[in-house]
Amino acid sequence: MSLHLGDTAPNFQAVTTEGNLDFYEYLGDSWGVLFSHPSDFTPICTTELGKTAALKSEFAKRGVKVIALSVDSLESHQKWAKDIEEVGGVAINYPIIADEDRKVSTLYDFLHPNAAATTTVRSVVIIGPDKKIKLTLTYPPSTGRNFNEILRVIDSLQLTANYSVTTPANWQDGEDVVISPAINDEDAKVKFPKGFKTVKPYLRFTPQPNK
């Protein structure tokens, strides 16, 4: 199954390090980040899960719930968590799915046979409160993810969901944003009282509206 932006994220039930859960019930009305790992006790995965745990407060203030997945067993996850805490300096504070039967991995297209025959690639799925898929990223097993970039993307997704703006290249929270071309200049003057700068008729910058 191949998932696309705007698709409804499939629900599932799974065994995790925090007990059995229903994915939709776990998310509730929150944003969600589901990210997969090739296997337990691998070097890059260990650094990634630790980094995510260290960023708990950053995810929380954005109303985001995080959940990880690996195709190994619950017992393996529990043993691995000790290594993650030792390396990262923080205990795991979110659930890790034990996907031994690869049910969830298949549902979310985390298995790429050309990359690895039986293990999952490094994928990230960001899901909105409406349970729609807002972003997908897939890395090869050899490359660790930048979780600060994932936070940046969440900032953009949440901003653009509530205002008629988009975010330019390398945008960071607090910087100027771009007014949607669908809004004419007269309406833009009303919607964006801080004013705007026209670089091209289709490219108008305005201060971030929620700052």
- Cα–Cα distance measured from residue 130 to residue 133, given in angstroms and rounded to the nearest whole number: 9
**Of the residues 14, 33, 34, 45, which is catalytic?**
45
The b-or-e profile of 165-181 (16+ CB within 10 A means b, else e) is bebeeebebeebbbbee
94 is catalytic: no
- Cα–Cα distance measured from residue 25 to residue 210, given in angstroms and rounded to the nearest whole number: 30
Q: Are 48 and 148 in contact (CB under 8 A)?
A: no
Rg of the chain's alpha carbons, rounded to an integer? 19
Q: Which residues are catalytic?
A: 45
